[in-house]
Chain A
Amino acid sequence: MTVALDRSYDIATRKRIDLFPYFLLVPALLITMVIVAWPLVETVRLSFTDASLKPEENFVGLANYEKMFSRRFPEVIGRTFYWMALSVSFKMLVGLLGAVLLNAAVPGRALFRVLVMPPWIVPIAVGVFIWGWMYNGQFGMISGLMQRMHMIGTPLEFLAYRDTAFMATIITDVWIGTPMVTVYLLAAMQGISKEMQEAAWVDGAGRFYRFRRITLPLIMPAMATMALLSAIWTFNSFDIIWILTEGGPRGSTTTMIIDTYKTAISRFKYGEGAARAVMIVCFLSAFTGFYFFLLSRLAKRGEA
């Protein structure tokens, strides 16, 4: 019964190009063009101009880039990668641990699995408000508990110091990103065939040995995929830092996204902001290229 379909394809391909599928794509393409593709091109163009609130724009060549790199921008790039590396490492570690625990066949695990998701599904800003309270030095829970446990002597205002603010934004980012990693790795673990585990078990392999030699290698593709996606999402992360510190204190949590936003939207220097955005796009393109490379490699090996 595939005659009708095949014939319609044949007629279409032989006589003229079938426009129907393209017609179906029009709405999606239109929105993507207007909101994503055109702004992307426009960002590149703006990065070579001195665009700001004034009506005329002048072409300034690479001046924005020269200015950007002669200031503290290299430092911002370094900080962004450091922030991202720490955050993604913690997310993967905590997420893997969570997935292993929730994969254990103990009563109540269905409920536990439900309880993991809330940080990811509630509005990001609202979750961050709560963390903002918890980081409060005088009255917040974390400082309070640490004083109780005599880890610190006096109240610690986490968001007021460079190092603690840096760590605070990372912890909040890990909190928001962990559920996704956990659920994704859990799904990967449940995809492993039971026979393999049982065969090893019959041969007397212990739980940790089986984890190291069977589970871990088999979920490696999923871990690599998730780590890369996490890296991309973390790189794009704006809400968390903006709400907690707006990039402060003294620039210690200013990542590339925050720097771009401050330059372009807070100070209306569209041209200089656009140059920063172009740098972000360059890095994101590299990640994306690597992501597609990874997907195709995994598809070839039939593991993804």
Chain B
Amino acid sequence: MIDKYRWWEVVAIYAGIAVFLTFILAPFVEAFVVSMRPLDALFSIPYRFITEEMSFRAYVTMWENVPLLGLYIFNSFLIASSVTVFALLAIIPAAYAFARFKFKGSNTLLAAFLAVNMVSGAVLIIPLFKVMHQLGLLNTYFAMIAPGTAFVIPTGIWLLRSYLLKIPKELEEAAWADGASRMYTLRRVIIPVAMPGIIVVAIATFIVAYAQQFIYALTFNSKNELNPLPVGLFQFFGRQEVVWNELMAASLVGIVPVLVIYIFLQRYIVAGLTAGAVKE
């Protein structure tokens, strides 16, 4: 058959995959090994991959040496969840409008939303910083949530719109024939039917919001108790004596939640994330 490989082809494919995945995964493996090593063994020369006395000690001591670690992780979750909720409140009606209604300027507006994807918060940071400074919003959760929300909305609209397009119109027509208002139809007919699509959008949004909170927190927040994980750990990264094993342990603990979500829902997440790269 066409997909039958000769033995050396199979070997070559596996070897290629091994090299490729090593590039992708080696940092995680290295981070794990480092987190297991005592600090003095870490600074031993020459470099050794495996050292004696590997233990989970750093995972215990990090909570003492990084006293706010739990809070950082909580903040990361809080910010990402808030971004997701606010974004969905904007995405669901907007996606419904683009999927179901013909209105003047709909194509232009949709293109405008897509164009938002092309700039990042970093480009617009100056006026945002200035206005938050003037309004006294620096060092609040709001300052870290609002900018993130704006930049996840376009992809969400695009993704949910294509899902809603697949829902038959007859459903709404039946509701309207029964005298339901259009708002009621959206709430009670469309949203329940579109729930799988909405969940995909929610998960993808959460992951992006969890991954990309660094610059807003770095710029708009200087209160340590409000810092999300990336910025909380960045302070330790900059120090003269970096406690690498604990930094790696804390980093890994911080990424476990998203990795768990990913492993269980990877099919939806991949669909959700690649939808950002649009094709009509």
Whether A8 touches B118, Cβ cut-off 8 Å, given contacts A129-B237, A141-B47, A148-B46, is no
Best-buried of A28, A35, A39, A143 by chain B (most CB within 10 Å):
A28
Structural contact, A116 and B45, CB atoms closer than 8 A:
no
Structural contact, B97 and A126, CB atoms closer than 8 A:
no
Best-buried of B120, B151, B247 by chain A (most CB within 10 Å):
B120
Query: Which residues of B1-22 are within 8 A (CB) of A?
Result: 2-3, 5, 9-10, 13-14, 16-17, 20-21
Structural contact, A27 and B93, CB atoms closer than 8 A:
yes
Structural contact, A295 and B280, CB atoms closer than 8 A:
yes
Whether A4 touches B128, Cβ cut-off 8 Å, given contacts A117-B270, A121-B207, is no
- 1/0 contact trace for B113-156 toward A, CB 8 Å? 10110111011111111110000000000000011011101000
CB distance from A38 to the nearest CB of B (A): 7
Query: Which residues of B47-98 are within 8 A (CB) of A?
Result: 47-49, 76, 86, 89-91, 93-94, 96-97
Structural contact, A28 and B153, CB atoms closer than 8 A:
yes
Q: Count residues of chain A with CB under 8 A from any CB of chain B.
A: 111
Structural contact, A25 and B94, CB atoms closer than 8 A:
yes
What residues of B have a CB within 8 angstroms of the CB of A161 in the complex?
none
Q: Please tell me if B24 contacts chain A, counting CB pairs below 8 Å.
A: yes
What residues of A have a CB within 8 angstroms of the CB of B270 in the complex?
117, 183
What residues of A have a CB within 8 angstroms of the CB of B91 in the complex?
28
Structural contact, A104 and B5, CB atoms closer than 8 A:
yes
Structural contact, B120 and A22, CB atoms closer than 8 A:
no
Query: A304 vs B280: C-alpha distance in the bound complex, in angstroms?
Result: 6
* Closest chain B residue to A171, Cβ basis: B23
Whether A21 touches B106, Cβ cut-off 8 Å, given contacts A4-B177, A40-B124, A295-B280, is yes
Best-buried of B118, B233, B237, B263 by chain A (most CB within 10 Å):
B118
Structural contact, B251 and A126, CB atoms closer than 8 A:
yes
Query: A36 vs B10: C-alpha distance in the bound complex, in angstroms?
Result: 50
Structural contact, A125 and B248, CB atoms closer than 8 A:
no
Whether A112 touches B118, Cβ cut-off 8 Å, given contacts A123-B254, A260-B123, is no
Q: Please tell me if B159 contacts chain A, counting CB pairs below 8 Å.
A: no
Q: Please tell me if B104 contacts chain A, counting CB pairs below 8 Å.
A: yes
What residues of B have a CB within 8 angstroms of the CB of A3 in the complex?
173
Q: Please tell me if A118 contacts chain B, counting CB pairs below 8 Å.
A: yes
Q: Please tell me if B241 contacts chain A, counting CB pairs below 8 Å.
A: no
Structural contact, A106 and B172, CB atoms closer than 8 A:
no
What residues of A have a CB within 8 angstroms of the CB of B244 in the complex?
133, 139
Structural contact, B230 and A118, CB atoms closer than 8 A:
no
Structural contact, B27 and A125, CB atoms closer than 8 A:
no
Structural contact, B123 and A24, CB atoms closer than 8 A:
no
Structural contact, A130 and B215, CB atoms closer than 8 A:
no
Q: Please tell me if B229 contacts chain A, counting CB pairs below 8 Å.
A: yes
Q: DSSP majority for the B interface?
A: helix
| Contact of B149 (CB < 8 Å), options: A31, A122, A148, A225 | A31
What residues of B have a CB within 8 angstroms of the CB of A9 in the complex?
102
Query: A261 vs B47: C-alpha distance in the bound complex, in angstroms?
Result: 36
- 1/0 contact trace for A277-290 toward B, CB 8 Å? 10011001001100
What residues of B have a CB within 8 angstroms of the CB of A123 in the complex?
76, 210-214, 229-230, 254-255, 258
Structural contact, A201 and B2, CB atoms closer than 8 A:
yes
Query: A24 vs B161: C-alpha distance in the bound complex, in angstroms?
Result: 13
Query: A245 vs B150: C-alpha distance in the bound complex, in angstroms?
Result: 28
Structural contact, A270 and B130, CB atoms closer than 8 A:
yes
Query: A291 vs B233: C-alpha distance in the bound complex, in angstroms?
Result: 37
* Closest chain A residue to B21, Cβ basis: A115
Whether A133 touches B233, Cβ cut-off 8 Å, given contacts A51-B130, A175-B27, A257-B123, is no
Structural contact, A280 and B172, CB atoms closer than 8 A:
no
* Closest chain B residue to A131, Cβ basis: B27
Query: A299 vs B107: C-alpha distance in the bound complex, in angstroms?
Result: 15
What residues of A have a CB within 8 angstroms of the CB of B93 in the complex?
24-28
CB distance from B141 to the nearest CB of A (A): 15
- 1/0 contact trace for B150-181 toward A, CB 8 Å? 11010001000000000001101100110000
Q: Please tell me if B224 contacts chain A, counting CB pairs below 8 Å.
A: no
Q: Please tell me if A248 contacts chain B, counting CB pairs below 8 Å.
A: no
Q: Please tell me if A197 contacts chain B, counting CB pairs below 8 Å.
A: yes
What residues of A have a CB within 8 angstroms of the CB of B254 in the complex?
123, 126
Which 5 residue pairs across A and B have the least CB separation, nearest first?
A144-B47, A125-B230, A35-B150, A236-B120, A42-B127
Q: Name 28 A/B residue pairs within 8 A (Cβ), A-sorted.
A: A2-B169, A5-B173, A8-B176, A17-B103, A24-B97, A26-B93, A29-B109, A31-B149, A34-B146, A43-B124, A105-B5, A116-B21, A121-B207, A123-B255, A124-B211, A126-B254, A129-B233, A132-B237, A134-B27, A134-B30, A141-B49, A145-B47, A175-B27, A197-B2, A257-B122, A260-B126, A291-B118, A299-B280
